[in-house]
Amino acid sequence: MPDSPVTAAESADVVIVGARCAGAATAVTLARAGHHVIVLDAATLPSDTLSTHLLWPAGLAELHRLGARTAVEALGAPRLSHAYAAGAGYGITSTFPAVDGIDYALCVRRTGLDDVLVRTAITAGADVRQRCRVTDLLWSGNRCAGVRYTDSTGTVTEISTGLVVGADGRHSTVATLAGAAQPYHTVPSGRDCYYAYWRDTTGLPRDTAAQWRAGADLGTAFPCDDGLILSLVQPPTASGRTGPTAAERRYTAAIARIPELAARLDGCHRIGRVRAATGLASYFRRSTGPGWALPGDAGHFKDPVTAQGIRDALRYGRLLGEAAADHLTDADALDRALRAWERRRVVECRAIFHWTNRLARGEAMRPMEIELYRRAAADPALAQLATGIFTRTNAPGELYAPRRAAQLAFGALRHHPDTPAALRDIASEIRTGTRDAITTHTVLRGAPPTHPAAPAPDRPAPRSELRATLTVSPNPDRRAPAADDR
C-alpha cells in the first residue's frame, strides 16, 4: 500500500456513502437485519440540498415501509389530496390512486425530510457520521473492499467492508472511483430548474399539487411545510450567463409567462433566494460490481419534471438492503443478488424514464398532448390514469395503448386547428415510441454492459488478510456528468 496519512482503521459489514434518501433507506434495512452499518456523509446534517421535494403517494408508501412516515407527516406539510394540471386552455383536477392505502401527496422540505431519515437510520442501529468525505475506495484484487475518508478534524480513516454502497448522489464519488461515472444511457434535459419558497398568506386552499403549462414553460405550486408554497419553474434550457442574478431573472420571467401560476402566487411573499439546477441529464449508470452498488441518483437519475427521484432513491435503497442482507458473508451470492437488484431497478424504471424524458423536452404542448388534456378535463377516469403514471400505479403505456392512441390521434386531427402540425406530431409520436421501445429492448433490457473497470467477480481476501492486501483505488475515471448547479 502506498504511504498515506491514514490514522485510523476499522471494519464494518457495510459502508454506505451518503446519508439522505437512498443511503438512509439502505442503512435502515441492513441495520434492522442486524448488520454493522457505517454511514458517511460529507454534509453537516440536517441540512438542505439542491432538490424540490414533492412526494407522490408512492413516495409516502416507501417512507411508511421504512417506518418514517409518521415523523415526516409531523413536520406539518398539508396533505395534498388533489392533483391539478392545466395547459392549452384545459384544466384537469384529479384525486390520487392510492398506494398501500395512501391517496395523497406531501411536499416536505429536505432539511426536515432528510433529518427524519437519518434519525430513523440511527434508531435502527446504523452508525451515521456527518462531515466525513469519502475520497478513495479500497480494493482487494478487483473487488471493492472498503473506503478511505477524511473527517472534519482532518483524520483519515480506512474502513474495510464486504459491501460499499454509493448513495452519494449525481456526482457520485463511488461511481467515479468504481469506473461507472459514465452513464451507459443518458438523455439531456430540455429544461432548466429554478425554484423558490413563498409564504402563503392568501387563505386559498392548500390541498392541491398544481402544474401549469404555458407556451414552452412549465411551472408548479406545491403547498409545503411551515405555511410555504414551493414553486418550481422549468423553462426551456437557456444558454448565456449563470449565477444568482441570472437565476433570479429567469425565475421571475418564467412566472410572468405563466399567468395562472402568477395568480396563485399573488399576495404570497417570496422567502429566500432562487435556486437553480441546469445542465441536467437523465441517465442509467452501471450500478453494481464486485462489492459495490449505487442506489439513488448515484446510479440512476430522472429529470425532476415528474418528481420521481426521492421515491426511487428510497425504494431501491430499501430493496438493495433487502437483496444484500442475507449474503454479506458470501461474495458470489452477494454479487448475484446485487446484479438482480440492478436489473429490477432498470426494468421497473425504464417506462417512467422514457415518459419523464418526453416531459423534459422543453417544448410547448403538442397536438396529441393537447388532445389528452381536452379529453381528461371531461373524463375523471382518464385524468386519474394520467395522475397514476406519476404515482406509479399506471404505466405510461396504458395511456398510449393502441385504442387510446388512435382516439388521441383522430381527436388531434379533428380539434387541432393546424392539421399539418397534428400529422407531424402523430408521426413524431410513432418515431418516439419506436425509439423508446428499441432502447428498452436493447440498452435498457435489464442487463447493463459490463464496465472494464469492474470485470467478473473475484473472491475477496479473507478478512484476516484484508489489511495486507488492500490497494487504494487508482481513480479510473474522474469525469462526472455535466451539471451546473448553484
Ligand X SMILES: Cc1cc2nc3c(=O)[nH]c(=O)nc-3n(C[C@H](O)[C@H](O)[C@H](O)COP(=O)(O)OP(=O)(O)OC[C@H]3O[C@@H](n4cnc5c(N)ncnc54)[C@H](O)[C@@H]3O)c2cc1C
Provide the binding-site residues for ligand X, judged by CB under 6 A: 17-23, 40-43, 49-54, 59, 133-134, 167-169, 173, 193, 277, 296-298, 304, 307-311, 313
Residue 133 or 404: the one with the smaller Cβ distance to ligand X is 133
Pairing of strands 90-95, 82-87: antiparallel
Q: Give dist(CA 234, CA 239) in Å, integer.
A: 14
Other beta carbons less than 10 A from residue 140's beta carbon: 23
Burial 311-323 (b: 16+ CB within 10 A, else e): bbbbbbbbbbbeb
Least Å from the CB of residue 313 to ligand X: 4
Q: Rounded to the nearest whole angstrom, what is the least distance from the CB of residue 22 to ligand X in the complex?
A: 4
* Nearer CB in complex with ligand X: 37/298: 298
Cβ distance to ligand X smaller for residue 311 or 451: 311
Closer to ligand X at the Cβ: 224 or 337?
224
Q: What is the spatial distance between Cα 329 and Cα 148, in angstroms, rounded to a whole number?
A: 21
- H-type alpha helices, 181-258: 244-257
Nearer to ligand X, 396 or 411 (CB): 396
How far apart, in whole angstroms, are the C-alpha atoms of residue 168 and residue 152? 18
How far is Cα 375 from Cα 41, in angstroms, rounded to an integer? 48
Residue 31 vs 277, nearer CB to ligand X: 277
Least separation in angstroms between CB 11 and ligand X: 18
Choose between 32 and 109: whose C-beta lies nearer to ligand X: 109
Tell me the C-alpha distance between 374 and 368, whole Å: 10
Q: Write the DSSP string, 108-145.
A: --HHHHHHHHHHHHHHHT-EEESS-EEEEEEEETTEEE
Min dist CB 356 to ligand X, Å, is 11
Least Å distance, CB 307 to ligand X, is 4
Work out how close the CB of 326 gets to ligand X at its nearest, in angstroms, rounded to a whole number: 24
User: Checking DSSP bridges between strand 156-166 and strand 292-293, what pairing results, if any?
Assistant: parallel
Q: Which residue, 42 or 359, has its beta carbon nearer to ligand X?
A: 42
- Is the CB of 19 or the CB of 386 nearer to ligand X? 19
CB 230, min distance to ligand X, A: 8
Q: How far is the CB of 10 from ligand X (least distance, A)?
A: 16
Tell me the torsion sign for CA atoms 382, 387, 392, 397. positive
Residue 30: which of 232, 322, 314, 271 has the closest Cα?
Answer: 322
- 380 cis-preceded (ω within 30 degrees of 0): no
Distance CA 149, CA 38 (A): 12
Least distance between ligand X and beta carbon 276 (Å): 8
Rounded Cα gap, residues 71 and 253, in angstroms? 37
